[in-house]
Amino acid sequence: MPNARTANAVRLEFAPDSLVQSNLSGAAFTGDWLWVAGDEACGLDRLRLLAPVGREALRFGEVRDFPLADLLDLPGTAGEEADLEGMAVADGYLWLVGSHGLKRKNAKPDRDHADNAKRLSKVALDGNRRLLACLPIEPDAKGEPCLVRQAKDGRRALRLKGDAQTNLLTRALADDPHFGPYLAIPGKDNGFDIEGLAVDGRRLLLGLRGPVLRGWSALLEVAVETRGDQLRLAPLDDSGTLIRKHFLQLDGLGVRDLHFSGDDLYILAGPTMVLNGDIRVFKWPAARPLLAANREPVRFESALTESVPLPHGRGTNRAEAICDLPPALSGGKARWLVLYDAPGADRKEGEHTVFGDLLRHD
């Protein structure tokens, strides 16, 4: 029971068959409604603000599932996980991105050495992992925000052109000297792994958990446009640049989530590989106007400030999602909602309730 955490605890109540429960990896708000994604599902959950039942700060529940197969023509099958890692709400859309990374089978304690050796050699790519998409948000007859394939005003659910193996982003990176070689390495091995997403108009920032190169983590900046029934990469400038690279000094940590708050960019950072270690929030002051004015294809940024360290456990309580709390829910104070993957016993109540944190920020 999270009694020691009630001063800043946020209760999330899921149903037994919810798409997302204990593997939270993304969060975003539409007013009082909370959207969450997980890295082992192919869909999203929407939770309603409810009255607290204990001494927790906030409570969300009455979950509704939104399977991606109902909203998009997926590159893989409906049952294949999308490994969703980043979310953002902007201009009437919910944006989402999958890890884009390969996965390696893990050794299991009930298998013999030879079998585990075979498992550890197997690398695969689920068909929906290389997904970058935007989904229209539209109120239903009861005024509740819903994700729809096509809105009444003409907005449509769109994904970046690609198939189960590749898309326009991975094709553009294939020959990149920094990231091309890492597309063939599983994410948990310091391979290519997208875990953060921030949106500014038609420009997107993709935060990489890996690779971290000599201690430098990276953001990829791209622009997208609608062409037909798909998203395409659009040039960022007159020279035709499709991807800008921003290397950040995060003390060797990789990006776990991104979030704009005003002009500042906040970066949730943690270990890039399967390690128990520091998880911290960094602030990039005035990042939004700087990025809008920048024309350099590659730049290095070390003028970041460390905002706050976050708690973590050993194999549990890994902070994976961060987003601003809407002013109506925060009492006028600047607060983050932080959600955790693999919640420990102190962050669970029963089988279907987990707890996140509220944190103050400047």
Does pLDDT of 310 surpass 90?
Answer: no
d(CA 71, CA 166): 20
Which has more pLDDT, 275 or 121? 121
Q: What is the pLDDT of residue 3?
A: 42
Q: Are 24 and 339 in contact (CB under 8 A)?
A: yes
Tokens of residue 307, six digits:
């905002």
Q: What are phi and psi of 292, to 5 degrees?
A: -65, -35
pLDDT for position 360: 83
> In the prediction, which pLDDT does 361 show?
79
User: Among candidates 319, 320, 362, 317, which has minimal Cα distance to 344?
Assistant: 317
277, 278, 254: which is closest to 267 by C-alpha? 254
Give the chain's mean pLDDT. Answer: 92
Each residue's pLDDT tens digit, 246-263: 999 999 999 999 999 999
Backbone φ, ψ for residue 253 (5° rounding): -90, 155
pLDDT digits (tens, 9 = 90+) for 116-163: 999 999 999 999 999 999 999 999 999 999 999 999 999 999 999 999
Domains and CATH numbers, the chain: 4-360 (2.115.10)
pLDDT per residue over 20-56, tens digit each? 877 899 999 999 999 999 888 899 999 999 999 888 9
The strand pair at 244-249 and 298-301 is best described as parallel
Q: Write down the pLDDT at residue 1.
A: 39
**The pLDDT of residue 4 is above 70:** no
Q: How far apart are CA 8 and CA 15, in angstroms?
A: 23
pLDDT exceeds cutoff 70 at 5: no
Residue 78 clears pLDDT 50, i.e. is over it: yes
Query: What CA–CA distance (Å, rounded) separates 37 from 57?
Result: 22
Query: Which 3 state secondary structure label does DSSP give 9?
Result: strand
Structure pTM?
A: 0.94
Q: How confident is the model at residue 331 (pLDDT cuts 50, 70, 90)?
A: confident
Residue 85 CA from chain centroid, whole number: 3
pLDDT-derived band at 14 (thresholds 50, 70, 90) equals: very high
CA separation for the pair 125, 129 (Å, rounded): 7
CA atoms of 87 and 66, how far apart (whole Å): 14
Residue 312 has pLDDT above 80, yes or no: no
C-alpha to C-alpha distance for 339 and 34, rounded to whole angstroms: 12
Query: CA torsion sign, 297 to 303 to 308 to 314?
Result: positive
Instruction: Please compute the mean of the pLDDT values over residues 190-211 and round it to a whole number.
Output: 97
- Tokens representing residue 191 in the block: 């391979």
pLDDT surpassing 80 at residue 344: yes
pLDDT at 305 exceeding the cut of 70: yes
- In the block, tokens 């920048």 appear at 294
Look at 330 and 117; give whichever has higher pLDDT. Answer: 117
Whole-angstrom distance, CA of residue 26 vs CA of residue 4: 25
Cα→Cα distances 150→142, 154, 252, Å: 18, 6, 42
Torsions phi, psi for 256 (to 5 deg) = -110, -25
- Is residue 297 within 8 A of residue 1, CB to CB? The reply is no
Question: Which residues is 233 bridged to in the sheet?
Answer: 224
In the structure encoding, which two tokens stand for residue 5, read together? 């955490």
DSSP output for 254-319? EEEEEEEETTEEEEEEE-SSS-----EEEEETTHHHHHHH---SEEEE---EEEEE----SSS-EE
Q: What is the pLDDT of residue 92?
A: 96
Residues in the chain: 362
- pLDDT digit string (tens) for 151-166? 999 999 999 999 999 9
Cβ burial of 61 (10 Å; 0-12, 13-18, 19+) is middle
Contact residues for 150 (Cβ-Cβ < 8 A; gap 6+): 136, 156, 157
pLDDT score for 299: 97
**Confidence check: pLDDT of 2 > 60:** no
Which among 198, 128, 194 is positioned nearest to 160, based on CA atoms? 128
Contact residues for 221 (Cβ-Cβ < 8 A; gap 6+): 203, 204, 205, 206, 236, 243, 244, 245, 246, 291
Residue 283 confidence class, pLDDT cut points 50, 70, 90:
very high
